[in-house]
Structure 1
Amino acid sequence: MTEQSVAAPTYVRPTRRLGFWRMTLATFIVLGLTAGSFAGWQWWTATRAVASYDPWFASYVDVTATPSYAFESPTTTARKNVVLSFIVAATDDPCEPTWGTAYSLDEASASLDLDRRLARLSQLGGHATISFGGAINDELATGCSNTAKLAQAYTTVIDRYQTSNIDLDIENTALSDSAAGERRAAAIKTVQDEQAAAGKPLVVWLTLPVAPHGLTGDGKRAVEQLLAAGVDLAGVNVMTMEYGESKKLTASMADASIDALNATHAQLAALNSAAGIAMTDADLWSRIGATPMIGQNGTVDEVFGLADARTLNAFAQDKQLGRMSMWSLNRDRACSPNYVDIKQVSDACSGVDQNDQSFSDVLGAKFTAIPGSAPPLTGAADAALKPQATTAPVAIIKDNPLTSPYPIWSADTTYAKNTKVVRNSNVYETKWWSLGDIPDNAALQAFETPWELVGPVMATDTPQVQILLPEGSYANWSPTKIYEATERVLLAGVPYQSKWWNQAASPSATALNGETGPWRLLTAAEVTEKLAQQ
């Protein structure tokens, strides 16, 4: 049963017209309430953006630099996420991706053990973003004029390393080439759509040079091209470095960087508005990244010190930048006393006194993205984004000499520095001479053992196959003969070359001793060349 209400008698007031001033006052009140509601809505949306703020920090690592940097063994949380650089076009095929023109993807696996090292980083909860371009060589879009092949080149890299994040580092001629920019934008749109369709959303960041007054005209055009192509651009990362004459003499590197970021923020607001993309102030900051060059910059009087790093980090936290990076993790240490001219930029040290501190810890402080997770999107693909493994799942393979990529470790073998072996489904490399030291000795600390873990044996590994030469290709080795440097011999069909004068030193026993043994195995290329001559 429900109650029925009884209407009360209605009282009708006589109608009165509002005078002009009363009407004006009422209008102002209504407008004020409306404006207040709009301001409140703006505050609410900005607060929502701040509440979902999830920034990330990752240092660049120069993959081809010597000495090689062991990114797969991060010593701090701030070093778990890396941006590996740089994928560029091959010198003989502009549509083939390479690491700095020095290594094809397969060569990087064979010579640098890159695939295995990425697998190890993934095991430790780290994540690798792959960077295309850089300042020196040709970014793929510069020379690859076929958009379909260009898209395939990007996809080859993404699929090879199973990464969910890429970084387009566009500089110099690659930035001024408008046609290359159009191809790049179209290709990236294709790749991003294909990855999304496969359930693997792709995060795309654009890295550009910047001055204290902001992006260059070419830089703004690069942003416009990607937006016009429909690329879901996660953000723009500006290289807060190498300002030259654009930096005021009295400005610190941190001051110049903050000016550059503020100017970039204003420019991106205009660019997104022109593209029909509405963003709050907080949204824009979450789509901006900063990458200083730590320590000594290429311009002699530009030095980005630890004080600059603290100031820039504080600004980033205040504005809630979406990303912080640095060039580079290879350089995040003070130079050796033997390195005399610290004003000359080194790719292995910063050139400043770091007082046992690291730039990565200072710049990465309070950046809270979980190591191993993909950096966040603020665009349409955000809801679908899931963390992706850095590499394909690693299959544990038993130590089998017929399938292992390196010799199985033996307690009776002498191993020279930089020798790789397999033990218990993992690859280890010697840091110095070793005999009888167990690679995976759990009781030893890193400084106590001559072995360093490189990464797991992977299902994709192929065994090292020794190519034999037919009898008579070279003379058979004799224990009584004296051998001079460069002489070649056969022992059971295996070819060796003498490194220096020796006698009675069996090639099979000493070739594994690396630097200390008088013999080395011929390379596959040398064996192939010999076979072609026969």
Structure 2
Amino acid sequence: MSVVADPSAARHAREPGTPPRSVIVLASVALTVATGAALWLLPSETDDWMRPAQARAQTSASLPATRAASSGLAAAPSAPVRATGAPSGFVTFVDAVHDPRASLPRAAQQSGVRWFTLGHLTAGQGGCTPKWGGRQALGDNPVANHLGRLRTAGGDAGLSFGGSAGRELASACLVPGLLTAAYRQAVGAFDAAHVDFEIRDPADLDAVRRRATALATIQREKAGTGRPLAVSFTLPLTGRGLSPQDQVMLRTTRETGVRITAVNLLVPLRAAQTARGRLRPVASAVRTAQPQIARALGEPSAWERIALTPVLAGPTDLSSADARKLAGFASRHDLAWLSTRGATPVPEVVRLLAGPAR
């Protein structure tokens, strides 16, 4: 019997032992998927630092709603925009009490850093007078007296209240009017556009409310002057983020009417068996703290309100590679600023952390 040749059939003819084309296609797809999955699961040295801020893709509906306080003072959520005059980039902390020879203009010229924070102001005798280290009058500190020259050169500095020594004014000054006058005096003496509070007793709710009421009053006064007052809090960061007491303190302060510009997370750099694991705990802790801060500030996301300050035991604790990762993390998440405490890092690390202005 004769067979009529079919050209299309000839094109699809296959050699004996060759699998059908449909099987080959399916096998190729399966290989592609398996390869992609394997690459995804490979460990990466910078995975914690290269991952984008997931919170930006979330809507407020996907986050737990912030409970309104029973007092009815809860402020409406606001967009996380930075206040005029708030720090940015890299902020150098200067201990104006224990390093009286520090020169702000010279430091700015040598490092290229624009922003500084001067600490610490605590309660003097009587409780309602702000003094450097609780002892030195506002106008007697040689470091702070260089502020005019720093501003002429294009820089600025904020004031830090509290810290580990002495008592923060709100804890020592029990008369609300006198407390407001004390903060107003310090802000006015240096025409400060930024004040930071390193709180050691967040569980003292009476002090929290006194401080918040005073700061809300001063922020209202400064709002129309062309130099509004930015307020931040420097708080310790743990593996679980912020302590419950610190979260309540931030929420109470915001509900009282204070516009909180940033929460500066203070985190010690711990030794790690490998350089690869040194910064991972920091990244994990910051990611844990982010939704906590967002809830406390009544906002869907708080990345732009987070500043990050590693505490160094020695000048070489932060390597150039670490500094690049930190700067990249801050840039990708649009953090408010970076800083360091403890030992002064080497100039190259400061340059890398400062990077381009964010």
Task: Please say whether Structure 1 and Structure 2 have the same fold, judged by a TM-score greater than 0.5.
Answer: yes
Contact 1:175 1:218 in 2 (8 A): yes
Match of 1:289 in 2: 307
Contact 2:159 2:194 in 1 (8 A): yes
Amino acid at match of 1:60: F
Counting only pairs closer than 5 Å after superposition, residues 92-131 of structure 1 correspond to structure 2 as 92-108=125-141, 112=142, 114-115=144-145, 117-131=146-160
Give distance in 2, aligned partners of 1:285 and 1:76. Answer: 30
Match of 1:232 in 2: 259
Compared CA separation, residues 252 and 65, structure 1 to 2 (3 A): farther
Task: Give the 3-state SS of the residue equivalent to 1:141 in structure 2.
Answer: helix
Contact 2:216 2:257 in 1 (8 A): yes
Q: 1:307 aligns with which of 307, 315, 321?
A: 321
Counting only pairs closer than 5 Å after superposition, residues 254-269 of structure 1 correspond to structure 2 as 254-269=279-294
Task: Point out where structure 1 has 5 or more consecutive residues left out of the alignment.
Answer: 1-38, 43-48, 334-353, 369-534
Give distance in 2, aligned partners of 1:128 and 1:40. Answer: 34
Q: Deviations over 1:214-267 (max 9, x none)?
A: 001121111111111011111211102277xxx987784422221221111121
Amino acid at match of 1:271: A
Question: 61-70 vs 187-196, which deviates more?
Answer: 61-70
Contact 1:292 1:326 in 2 (8 A): yes
Compared CA separation, residues 177 and 305, structure 1 to 2 (3 A): farther
The alignment status of 1:161 with 2:195, answered yes or no, reads no
Compared CA separation, residues 160 and 266, structure 1 to 2 (3 A): same
Match of 1:178 in 2: 205
Match of 1:317 in 2: 331
Match of 2:344 in 1: 332
Q: 1:143 aligns with which of 168, 172, 175?
A: 172
Compared CA separation, residues 50 and 318, structure 1 to 2 (3 A): farther
Q: Deviations over 1:500-533 (max 9, x none)?
A: xxxxxxxxxxxxxxxxxxxxxxxxxxxxxxxxxx
Give distance in 1, aligned partners of 2:80 and 2:128. Answer: 41
Task: Point out where structure 2 has 5 or more consecutive residues left out of the alignment.
Answer: 1-55, 60-78
The alpha-carbon deviation at position 210 of structure 1 amounts to 0.9
Contact 1:195 1:201 in 2 (8 A): yes
Give distance in 2, aligned partners of 1:98 and 1:188. Answer: 18
Amino acid at match of 1:85: G
Compared CA separation, residues 317 and 179, structure 1 to 2 (3 A): same
Counting only pairs closer than 5 Å after superposition, residues 94-493 of structure 1 correspond to structure 2 as 94-108=127-141, 112=142, 114-115=144-145, 117-171=146-200, 174-241=201-268, 252-272=277-297, 277-279=298-300, 281=301, 284-296=302-314, 303-327=317-341, 331-332=343-344, 354=346, 357-368=347-358
Contact 2:203 2:249 in 1 (8 A): no
Compared CA separation, residues 51 and 82, structure 1 to 2 (3 A): closer
The alpha-carbon deviation at position 133 of structure 1 amounts to 1.0
Compared CA separation, residues 102 and 242, structure 1 to 2 (3 A): farther
Q: Taking structure 2 as the reference length, what is the TM-score of the superposition?
A: 0.70
The alpha-carbon deviation at position 61 of structure 1 amounts to 0.6
- Aligned-CA RMSD value: 3.1
Compared CA separation, residues 232 and 113, structure 1 to 2 (3 A): closer
Percent identity of paired positions between Structure 1 and Structure 2? 26
Compared CA separation, residues 78 and 220, structure 1 to 2 (3 A): farther
Give distance in 1, aligned partners of 2:319 and 2:213. Answer: 40
Compared CA separation, residues 271 and 101, structure 1 to 2 (3 A): closer
Contact 2:89 2:355 in 1 (8 A): no
Task: Give the 3-state SS of the residue equivalent to 1:240 in structure 2.
Answer: strand
Contact 1:151 1:188 in 2 (8 A): yes
Compared CA separation, residues 249 and 148, structure 1 to 2 (3 A): farther
Compared CA separation, residues 249 and 177, structure 1 to 2 (3 A): farther
Match of 1:82 in 2: 116
Structure with the bigger percentage of helix: 2
Match of 2:97 in 1: 64
Q: Taking structure 1 as the reference length, what is the TM-score of the superposition?
A: 0.48
The alpha-carbon deviation at position 60 of structure 1 amounts to 0.7
Contact 1:58 1:78 in 2 (8 A): no
Compared CA separation, residues 254 and 144, structure 1 to 2 (3 A): same
Amino acid at match of 1:119: G
Contact 1:168 1:206 in 2 (8 A): yes
Match of 2:44 in 1: none
Report the count of equivalent residues. Answer: 280
Compared CA separation, residues 103 and 55, structure 1 to 2 (3 A): closer
Give distance in 2, aligned partners of 1:125 and 1:258. Answer: 32
Amino acid at match of 2:351: D
Give distance in 1, aligned partners of 2:82 and 2:118. Answer: 27
Contact 1:294 1:359 in 2 (8 A): no
The alpha-carbon deviation at position 81 of structure 1 amounts to 1.3
Contact 1:132 1:168 in 2 (8 A): yes
Structure with bigger gyration radius: 1
Contact 2:240 2:288 in 1 (8 A): yes
Q: Deviations over 1:346-400 (max 9, x none)?
A: xxxxxxxx4xx443212211233xxxxxxxxxxxxxxxxxxxxxxxxxxxxxxxx
Contact 1:285 1:320 in 2 (8 A): yes
Compared CA separation, residues 175 and 308, structure 1 to 2 (3 A): farther
The alpha-carbon deviation at position 71 of structure 1 amounts to 1.7
Task: Give the 3-state SS of the residue equivalent to 1:153 in structure 2.
Answer: helix
Compared CA separation, residues 52 and 121, structure 1 to 2 (3 A): closer
Give distance in 2, aligned partners of 1:40 and 1:256. Answer: 23
